[in-house]
Amino acid sequence: MPSQTTIPETRHVERHGYLFGHPIAHSMSPLLHQTVYDGLGLKWSQFPLDSMDMDLFLRLRQDPNFYGAAVTMPHKVSIVKHLDGLTPEGASVGAVNTLFIREDPVTGKRLYMGTNTDVVGIRDSFYQNVSNPDTCFHGRPALVIGGGGAARSAVYALRTYMKASKIYLVNRDRNEVKAVMDECTARGYGDQLIDVASAEQAASLEGVGAIVACVPNFTPKTPEEIEARRVLECFLGKSHKGAMLEMCYHPTPWTEIAEIGQKSGWQLILGTEAMIYQGLEQDKFWTGREIADMPIANVHHVIAAKLSEARL
């Protein structure tokens, strides 16, 4: 944890936002948004605010030139109580990664609003990369690996947008799976969630069309980790080959799970795709512009170049 937060100097831009979280040194968020603003001709910037200090952030957001913030761990849940309202996505997932500003039409008061664009990032990663969703994943079961906030966003995206018939949950920790199932059920999108605890159970289940992997890149070591990997390999080995989004992209998107998926004949979607599309959705809230008007191709080029640097 930083002993003292460095407050960015923002006077040289017309409007500014923050990336608020810790640790964030390796985030590509400021680069992505700068590419968008430059492409739109806006003298805007997003500045990293590497901090655990919520009170500091709440003071900084009062600046008249502040347009909003990307909110990342560990603040995605704790920020909610400091907001005036949530979009359906923010309310349903119970976590906010985007703070944006609106004005009360009656009082003119500034309203701090929250949404979750991670769900859109997951959705658009599939729809922008899969040529035929009907044959790939529509109407089929889906699979989510993990038990954290990204797993909840994945369940919401698969259930709400991607026509998953049921969703299998795979994780080394059964308690984490239960927590995801309980929370999704409480928030109204927990139907047909199935905890798959063993490879034997997986072998008896219908194959999946979409997989979202929401775990760090690591080699399984404990019995629980090894069994979870066996479950994934069982689904990857079934006859229908769909598309897999590997959400992990730092320090590299070329993970063990990505390699196993590709070798099994699955279409791999890199986690930077989800990062890009959730970021473009954020800029839609902040700038009021449609995504079609943003420099999408240039954003992909800039992020790909940054990834190439990381691989050197």
Buried b vs exposed e over 91-129: b needs ≥16 C-beta within 10 Å? bbbbbbbbbbbeeeeeeeeeebbbbbbbbbbbbbbbeee
Which is nearest to 157 in space by CA: 292, 303, 278, 282?
278
Phi, psi (5° rounding) for residue 230? Answer: -65, -40
Beta-carbon contacts of residue 218 (< 8 Å; ≥ 6 apart): 225, 256
Tokens found for residue 23: 């640790």
Contact 142, 164 (CB under 8 A): yes
Type and span of the H or E element at 89? helix 88-93
CA distance 5 to 263: 45
Query: Which residues are designated catalytic?
Result: 76
Neighbouring C-beta atoms of residue 202, cutoff 10 Å? 23
Tokens found for residue 287: 């700038």
CA distance 179 to 165: 21
Q: How far does CA 297 lie from the centroid of its chain?
A: 20
Which is nearest to 98 in space by CA: 118, 81, 78, 84?
118
- CA torsion angle 176 178 181 186 (round to 10): -110
